Structure 1
Amino acid sequence: MSQVNVLDPSASPLDYYGYELRRYREAAGLTQKQLGEIICYTGSLVGQIETARKLPTGEFSERVDAALGTGGLLSRLLDLVLRSQLPSWFQQIAELEARATEIYAFQAQLVHGLLQTEAYARAVLGVMDPTDLDRRAAARLARQRILEKQEPPVLWAVLGEAVLHQEIGGREVMRSQLLHLLSFLGNPRVNVQVLPFTAGAHAGLMGSFDHFRFESDPAIVYGEDYETGHPTANPVEARARSLRYDHLQAAALSLQDSAELIRHILEERYGEQHEVA
C-alpha cells in the first residue's frame, strides 16, 4: 500500500487548504475518485490539490463546499491561498487592496492588475519568466475578487494613453483588454480615466503609484521598481501623492471622454465597432 502524503497544515495556506479538503472528504467516507465524480473533476485533481501540488479554483472550491457541507470554508480559504502565491514582496500590497475602502491608482505603462484580463496578465508575467504561468496568472487575477465583494472598494484608475497603444500580447489580447476596460463604464465603484498625450508634462512623470485609503487606518502609498515594491504610511508622503493624484485626475479625460478614446482606438487599430452608452 502506498504511503499517504501527510501535510503540515501550518506550512502554508495551500497546505492548510489541502489538509482541510482531505479531512472533510475522509469524514464523508469518500475516496478521491468518488468526490471527483460528485463534483465533476478527476480524482487525480482532487489528490493533487489535497497534497498541495496544484492550486484550487473558485469553481472547484464552491463545488466541494456544496458536496461536503463545509459551510463555505474552502471558498473562504481560497483568497488566502491565491494571495500566498504572489511574490513575497507583493503579498502585503494584495492585503492592502483587500482592506482598502478606496484605491487610487496611476499607471503610465500597463493596465492596472485589478483591471487586467487573463490573457493580458499572462503576457505581462511571461516577458522575462515564462515558467508556471497558470499559477502566477491565477494569483494575479485572484486580486480582482475584491471588486466582487458585497462592499467592494471604490477604485479610481488613471491610465496614461500609452497604455492603450502598447500592444501587450498581440492584437487579439489588446482588443479584449480594451473591451474589458469599457465594460466598467457606468460602474460607480470602478472608474477608468485616461491621461491623454495632449496633457503634456504632468504630475505622474516620476512613475506609477497606488494610494490606499482605509476606514480608520492611515493612508498608504505604494510605488515599485523592476523587482520590488515600496509601501509607506509616512503622512507627508501620503499627502504629497494624494495631491499628485488630484492633479492627474484634473488633467485626465472625463470618464465618458476616456471611454470614447478607448472606443476610438478599438475601432482605428483593431476594427472593433463599439458604442459607448
Structure 2
Amino acid sequence: MTHINVLDPGASPLDYYGFELRRHREAAGLTQRQLGDIVNYTGSLVGQIETARKLPTPEFSERVDAALGTGGLLSRLVALVMRSQLPAWFQQVAELEVRATEICAFQATMVHGLVQAPEYARAVLGALDDADLDDRTAVRLARQGIFDKGEPPVFWVVLSEAALRQEIGGPDIMRAQLDHLLAFENNPRINVQVLPFSVGAHAGLTGSFTLFRFESDPTIVYTEGYGSAHPTANPDTVKVCSLRYDHLRATALSLRDSAELIRRVTEERYGEQLA
C-alpha cells in the first residue's frame, strides 16, 4: 500500500490547500490519476500538490473547482497560498496591496511588479538566484490578481525612462514587457506614466517608493531595502512622500505621451513598431 502523507491543515496555507484538495477528490471517488486526466494534469502533480510539495496555480485551481464542484474554494485559497510563499519580509506589503483602494508607485530602475510580464518577472527574480524560479515567478505574478477583484484598486505607476531602457532578460523579453505596459493604455484603473530623462532633477531622486491608500485607514508609505520592507504611517513621512508623488506625476509625461514614448523606445531599440 502506498504511504499517504498526513497533512496538518493548520500548518500553513499550502498544507490547508492540499488537505482540502485531497478531501474533495476522495469525496468524489477519484484517484489522483483520474482527477489529473479530467483536468489535463498528471496524477503525479495532483499528488505533489496534495502533499504540499508543489505550489498550485490559479489555472489548476479553477479546473479542479469545476471538476469537483467545490464552488470556487480552491480558487479562493490559491491567492492565500501564493501570498504565504512570498519572502517573509514582503508578506505585509502584499497584504497592503490586497487591502488598498489606491496604490501610487514610483519606480526608478525597473518595471513595478504589479505590471511585470511573466518572462520579465522571471528574469528579474533569476538575476542572482535561479532556485525554484518557476514557483517564485508564479508567486510574484499572483500578486496581480488584485486587479481581478470585484472592486480592484486604482493603480498609478510613474516609471523612470531608465526602466524602459534597462534591457532585462534580452530584447525579446523587453519587447514583450513594453507591449504588456501598452496593454493597459485604455484601462482607467491601471495607469502608467513615464518620467523622461529630459526632466533632469526630480522629486524621486532619493529612490523608489509606494503610497497605499485605504477606505478608512491611514495612508502608508513603503520603501524597500535589500531583503527588508519599510512601511510606515508616520504622518510627516506620508505628507512628504505624497507631495513628492504629486510632483512626480505632474512632471511625468501624460498617459498618452507615455504610451508614445514606450512605442518609440520599442521601435528604436528593437526595430519593431507596436500597434
TM-score range, shorter chain: over 0.9
- What secondary structure does 2:221 align onto? strand
- String of CA shifts for 1:218-268, please: whole Å, max 9, x gaps: 111100112211001112211111111001011100001111111001111
SS in 2 for 1:203: coil
Q: Which amino acid aligns with 1:272?
A: E
Detail structure 1 runs of 4+ shifted over 2 Å in the superposition. Answer: none
- The residue aligned with 1:119 is 119
Mapping of residues 142-181 of structure 1, within 5 Å: 142-181=142-181
Shifted more, 118-127 versus 266-275: the winner is 266-275
Residue 37 (1) aligns with residue 40 (2): no
SS in 1 for 2:6: coil
| Aligned residue identity for 2:157 | A
Question: Residue type matched to 1:203 in 2?
Answer: A
RMSD in angstroms over aligned alpha carbons? 0.8
Q: Which runs of 5 or more structure 2 residues have no equivalent in the other structure?
A: none
Alignment partner, residue 226 of structure 2: 226
1:85-104 equivalences under 5 Å are 85-104=85-104
**How far does residue 5 in structure 1 lie from its aligned partner after superposition?**
0.3
What aligned pairs does 1:1-277 form with structure 2 within 5 A after superposition? 1-275=1-275
- Report the CA distance between 1:202 and its aligned residue: 0.6
Distance 1:34 1:263 in 2: 48
- SS of 1:237's equivalent in the other structure is helix
Q: Which amino acid aligns with 2:217?
A: D
The TM-score normalised by the length of structure 2 is 0.98
**Is the 8 Å Cα contact of residues 57 and 78 (structure 2) preserved in structure 1?**
yes
Displacement after TM superposition at 1:271 (Å): 1.1
> Does structure 1 retain, via aligned residues, the 8 Å contact 2:89–2:227?
no
What do the CA deviations read for 1:136-175 (whole angstroms, capped 9, x no partner)? Answer: 0000000001112221100000000111100000010000
Output the amino acid matched with 1:32: Q
Q: Deviations over 1:20-51 (max 9, x none)?
A: 00011111111111111121211111100000
1:97 and 1:168 map into 2 onto residues whose CA distance is 25
Q: Secondary structure at the match of 2:231?
A: strand
Distance 2:122 2:39 in 1: 28
Following TM superposition, by how much is the alpha carbon of 1:130 offset from its aligned partner in structure 2, in angstroms?
Answer: 1.1
Q: CA deviation at 1:16?
A: 0.4
Identical aligned residues as a percent? 73
